[in-house]
Every structure is written in C-alpha cells, then in structure tokens.
Amino acid sequence: MSTGWRRETMNYRQLFAKMPQSARDRMFEQTWVREAAEKGLMPEHAYTDDTALRVLHSGLNEEEDSLLRLILVRFGSRAFTPGELAEAAGQWALAFMRSALGSLRAYGVIAAFRKSWGDPLYLLPHDGMRAWQRIYFPINLPIRKGSEEITGVKALQSSSEQEEQETREAVLRIQELSDAGDKPRQGLDLDLFAALSYVHLHELTLTQRGAIHKRHVQKLAERLTLAEADLAGCKLQYPFGDTYSPAAAVALDFLLRLGLIVRSDDRIECEEEKLREWLHKERPERTGILYRLWREHRIPDTSPLQHLVLLMERVPAGIKQSLPVLVDLLRRWGIVGSAKEADQLIAEAIETWLQPMRAFGWLQWHPVQGGWDSEFEWLIPIDYAAGPGTDAAATLSPQSQATLFERDEAPSRLEEGLSGGLEPADRSAGYEAAEQAGYDSARCLFVQPDFEIMVPPECPLYVRWEVARTTEWLRADQVAVYRLTKEAVQRAADLGISAERTAALLERYSRHGLPDPVRVTLLAWGEQYGRVYLADITVLRCTDPAAAEQIEKHPKLQSYVVEKLGEDTFIVRDHEQRELLHILEHAGFSPRKQILYDQTRRKPKKAVTAATHSREDTGEKHPKGLIYDKDPVQYLDVDIRIPADKELIEGLRSVPSVWHTEYRRYHPSTCLNIIRQAIEWGTVICIKSEEESGGGSVRTLVPKEIRGQGNRVFVEGYENGRRAVLGLEEFGSICIRLPGFQERHN
C-alpha cells in the first residue's frame, strides 16, 4: 500500500466561494439547509454539521444513500473520475449510479470539477467526510481491546515464508521508529520559534538558485528537535532537496504558510506584523493552528488512512487506544479488505502519521506485544465543535490546556508589561495581579551565575523572543538554554535593545532574580559598546544661503528640522518627507520631488511582500509553502451543470417506448435486443415470470454481459447485489427500468 501526500482537500467554504452566486443560492435554499440556518448555523456550515446532515440523510433514496456510502468508503476525500466510480460500483446499473450522483451534486454534498480538456472529477470535501463517517459509522471511542476484537493482527503465523519475513521486517521497523522517536522534544511550536529567531537574527540571503545558503540551513536545523527519521515516512517532495533536510523543509514550510516569514527576490525575512500576532497567542492556540495546518495539507491520499486519521481524532485526549482495534473497525466497515491489508495499514499509519505527530509533540505512541500492536495517546484534545469559519475542527479544550501545557491564565496577561517597554518601574497591572495571586510561572526564567538562562516550555513566547534576541542559543530539548555573551549584547544594541532593557527583562521574569555579577557585567558590556556610531539621516540642502535663512525662519518648517549643519544644510525628520515636500511646495521653494542618494550609500531596501497564491474565483490568498502540493482540483473550475435523468439515456427516442413503459413478453430476438439496450444504457431489466404476470413480485437484474453456450443464451449480471446468470428462457414479461421514470405495470 503506497501513500500519496497532497494539499488539503478543498473544504465546503472554499467550494461554495468558487461557485456562482446563483448556484450557491440554489444549494442554500434547500429545506434542510434553511432549517439549519434557522437554528443559527451559517448555510455552508450545515454541510459539516452532524445534526443537519442527519436530516438530509433521512431523505435520501436507496440509490443515493448507497452511492454516498460507497464514495465515503472507497474514495474518502480523494478526487475520483467517472471511470473509477464505475469500477467501484461494478454491480450497479450505471445509469442509476449517474442519476444518484447527480442528486448528491444537487444537494451540494459531492462537488464536481472540470479539467481543461473537459473530463470531470468528483470530490467529497474532507470536512464533510468527517461528519459522514460519524453518521454512517457511529461508535463511541475509545474501545478497549479484547481477545476476539483484533482480527487484522498477525501472530507470526503466516502461510508463507515470504509473508512471515515481511511481518518480521515490519515489526522491526516499528520498533526502530519507536526507539528513534523516544527522546526529549520541545514541540513543533517551539521548534518553529527556534527557526524564527534564527531568521530574525541572521541575514538569510538566497543563492542564485533561490535556496538559503547551506551554512544557514545547517545552523537552523541544529536548533530543531525534529529528526530525519521522524519524517521519512511522509515522502515529502520539495525544491533544493540537496540543501534542505526534511526537518528544515518542514519548518520553513510551516513558517511560510503561516506568513511568519516572507521571501523577497534575494532573501528570507520575518513578517513583523504576523510575527507579533503569533508571539502573543497562547500555546494551546498555536498548537491547534499547527495541527490543522498539518492535517489539511498532509492528509493521506488513501481512503483507509484518511478514515483511520478521523477515527483517531474521535479518541479523547489522555486516553490510550489500541491502533489495531481501530483498523479492525475499518475492516468490519469494509474500508479495509484482508488481514494483510490491515497489517500494512498499521505499519503505514505509524510511519506516515503517528511518528511525525509524536515528533511534533501532539501524541505519544509505543509498541506493545512484541512490537506489532501499538497504542497511542493524544496530548492535544481534538474538538469537533469548532467555531464557524474554521477549515478543520481541531481546537483545544480549556480543561486540557493547563494539564497538557502547564499554563496559567495570569501569565498571558504579562503581555501588557512588554507593550510599553521594559523599564524596571513599568510593572503592568497584569504582572502585579499575577504576583499577588502567587503565580510562580509569572517568573519563568532561570538566570544562572555562569550567564546561562534556562527557559522552560511554559514561558510566554514573547518573553522567550526577547531572551533570544539578546543572548546566544546553546541547546534545546524540553528546556531551552541560552547564554549571555558580550557579542550577543552588542548584537542586541544594533537591534535597538539596550543593556539596561535586557537587564530589566531578566529581572522581571527571572524566578530568582538577576544575580548581581551578571547584572554588573551586562551593564558594563552595554557601556563599552556604541560610544561612537554611524547614523543614517535625511538632510535638506539649499543651493544658496538666502533660501536656507528663509527655511530657518518659516514657522511651519521649524518643527520638521532636527538640526542645522553649516549654512545651507538641515537634518530633517526621515519619516515626514512627504509632508515636508508638500509644505516646501506651498511656501514657494519648488523642491525636487526625487530624493538624491549618494551613490556610495546603500539604496533603500525593496519592500518585502508575502508570496501568495490566489484562487481566482474565490479571491482567497494563502501564503505558499515550500513542500509541493498535489491537490488535483485546486485550480480547476467548479462544474455546476447537472444533467437531467433523460440526458443520461442516449438515444431514448430511437427505441420503442413500450420497452421502458410496459411489461410485455417478446420474441427471443427482440428480448435480446432489449437486454443489449439495457446493457448499453447501464439500466435495469425488470422481469415478471409468466405465472406472476397478473401482478406478482418482480425480479430486477442489472445485466452486464450476454454469452452463448451451445444452443442456449445466458445473461450475466447482478440480482440483489449478487452475481446471477439467467437463461434467456427465464425472461418472461420484461421492461427496462430507467432512472427518474415511473414504469407502468400492465
């Protein structure tokens, strides 16, 4: 079983945004959608709400219900072609399948897209798949493992030596993954923080190929607790694979998609506004965003793995669940076939899904029973009751925030203490309230006499950011360690952070205060640095002393002048150039509109904007990531035309109408022609035996093939879902049943 990885399946919000308004209105005017809206749901959210979808489900006819279940089981949220659907529905009458598909499209449950050459693609959006799985396969998790419950787990009793060897290799691989991942982690959000701080503190220029220089990639990767073995099963594809390790690629991909870093023509830099917002989010919120981003962009492309991921999300946090038990459920539901496929799914799920998420700090898993059976436990709770507008229902419940992340509400209010500077006397009300309440985590840093600073994971991210800007990074696992150095203090001064401000930060947030020797040395380093400096200023020059004298005396211009240099030159405020030029123009000086730059000086840096890709129809813009996406419908147009049932039957008018309107007994040759026509149309033959023609029961056959054997003619097909072979003489009174037509029983 091979796994493909792609961009997230389009969700309903994106789907409806791509539709014309008229098509969207038709969807939202359905009774079941209006009833959901009357209860407070947005119309598009009805398509992901269990209660609303159960109302729709209760009104589906047999064909619609069976087809929706087939799509859910066989394809999940993977896009599929008409040919794939026809192959999956082998025992179906194709005309009825197409009719049921049209109905599901009319309801808005299934989306259709048109390729550039005209071929269609169909899709069940992933957020809808989640709800339909709960409707068709309701079950309360977790399920405790019993001796009879695991039918898909091998016990090294394979029927062949080759299978036995494959099983041993899989068990060994699982144990290797378990051992490789069994090490301290700081979690994905703190890994990304480490990468962000490196980008902020270093000039990440790009090579001519567009890659970050290898030395920077190596130093950035050193700060991550992710390992290549953690991500090997994901089979990620990205540019510059010879330069970027998988861990570095994943970190850069997350940061780009979050908009926290942006790429210009020649460098990668932090996006200050997004960065500020990110630093002020609580850790549970950051983790929830990252999980949704990973799930939406890296969801597996096979139905069994998708269903397994959704089943895992239904397990409450903090409770151990056997993975083979969930796989066994998928076997019982027909989503997984043989025991061998079940075993392959377990190994694949561990390597491609559980192992990366353990490295991210989202769950724990470990092998039991010699390595094959494995248990997992969520460290972050997945809440299906996500608020409106969320693409994926994954949020963190308040009850679990404190237990999982050891966070308190009061420390989050310390943001106020940083917003107005870090002067020692500027203690915010939030900080004072935290201290009075006895929250030790308000002081989260540990400053050692040897100048090392230990930062535990519960430390607010904005405090950690200030520490990272003023120190040198040493190492990180669950606790990050930094060191105050002279070089770091001087670098901070270049960023506008004085030694006094650094001392105030450490004093404010250190659990045991700032040791006196550290404070004295820190302030001394600050005094020694920057006694002389170069300044980048804007000057206003005059061509003659008379003009300079008029400017000096002009009342509206005096506030723009910082200092006069000589007889004809003024230092002016750099950020008020436009206003200054406007006043000079009205005062009659006729200034040049173009600022003259000294050629020996650096030219202004080109403005950096986030690289985005937009969906032309929706107007949505999303930052591009680094790792390639493989969504087949991302750039396709939505196909809103749904053929009527009559259009599904080609050449209907060219055959006698009695063939599909009345029960009659025909000559064998005519009977064969009717059966051939039914096969061509993909419809059903209804049969009444001669004795029952007066009104008895009717047999229905989905004919697939006509074959001869000696002097006899046989028709092969499906009757009640089972393979059937009927001799021509068994066809009494017959009638072709067409989708959407009511046959007459004469």
Whole-angstrom distance, CA of residue 168 vs CA of residue 26: 56
How far is CA 487 from each of CA 252, 334, 340, 653, rounded to the nearest angstrom?
27, 63, 60, 88
Decide: helix, strand or coil at residue 358.
Answer: helix
Residue 43: pLDDT band by 50, 70, 90 thresholds?
very high
Q: Which amino acid is at 670?
A: T
pLDDT value for 532:
79
pLDDT of 230 > 50? The answer is yes
- Domains along the sequence of the chain with CATH: 12-136 (1.10.10.10), 409-528 (no CATH), 534-606 (3.30.70), 651-737 (2.30.30)
Query: What is the rounded distance in angstroms from the CA atom of residue 89 to the CA atom of residue 82?
Result: 10
Q: Percentage of the chain surpassing pLDDT 90?
A: 50
What is the pLDDT, as a whole number, of residue 536? 82
- The yes-or-no verdict on residue 149 having pLDDT over 80 is no
The residue-averaged pLDDT of 660-673 equals 92
How far apart CA 705 and CA 679 sit, in angstroms, is: 7
- Exposure string (b/e) for 564-582, b if CB count within 10 Å is 16 or more? eeeebebebeeeeeeebbe
Residue pair 441/408 in contact (Cβ under 8 Å)? The answer is: yes
pLDDT band at 117 (very low <50, low <70, confident <90, very high): confident
The pTM assigned to this predicted structure is 0.79
Percent of the chain at pLDDT above 70?
79
Q: Given this model, what pLDDT does residue 1 score? A: 44
Greater pLDDT, 47 or 635: 47
Q: What pLDDT is attached to residue 588?
A: 86
- Residue 47 contacts residue 24 (beta carbons within 8 Å): no
Q: Is the pLDDT of residue 496 over 90?
A: no
Look up residue 466 and give its amino acid: E
Measured at the CA of 68, the angle between CA 63 and CA 72, to 5 degrees, comes to 150
> Residue 719 has which token pair?
């009757």
Is residue 428 very low, low, confident or very high in pLDDT (cuts 50, 70, 90)? very low
Residue 161 is predicted with a pLDDT of 61
Check residues 147 and 557 and name the one with the higher pLDDT. Answer: 557
- DSSP code string of 146-208: -TTT--S---S--SSHHHHHHHHHHHHHHHHHHHHH-S----HHHHHHHHHHHHHHS-EEB-T
Average pLDDT over residues 313-340: 92
pLDDT tops 70 at residue 70: yes
pLDDT digits (tens, 9 = 90+) for 469-492: 999 999 988 899 999 999 999 999
**Can you give the pLDDT at residue 328?**
93
Whether the pLDDT of residue 22 is over 90: the answer is: yes
Please state the rounded mean pLDDT for residues 662-683: 93
Find the mean pLDDT for residues 253-274. Answer: 92
**pLDDT at residue 331 tops 90:** yes
Report the alpha-carbon distance of residue 76 to residue 130 in Å, rounded.
9
Q: Is 687:734 a contact under the CB 8 Å cutoff?
A: yes
348-405 confidence digits (pLDDT tens): 999 899 999 999 999 998 887 655 578 999 998 876 434 333 443 333 333 333 333 3
Q: If you average pLDDT over every residue of the chain, what do you get? A: 81
Question: pLDDT for 29-42, tens place per residue?
Answer: 999 999 999 999 99
pLDDT at residue 171, rounded to an integer: 59
Ranges 86-90, 149-153, 396-400, 515-519: which has the least confidence: 396-400
Local structure of 531: helix, strand or coil: coil
User: Is residue 384 exposed (0-12), middle (13-18) or buried (19+ Cβ within 10 Å)?
Assistant: middle
Higher pLDDT, 617 or 182: 182
Strands 712-719 and 722-727, bridge-based pairing: antiparallel
Helix ranges (DSSP H) in 368-407 = 398-405
For the ranges 111-125, 388-402, 521-535, the lowest mean pLDDT is seen at 388-402
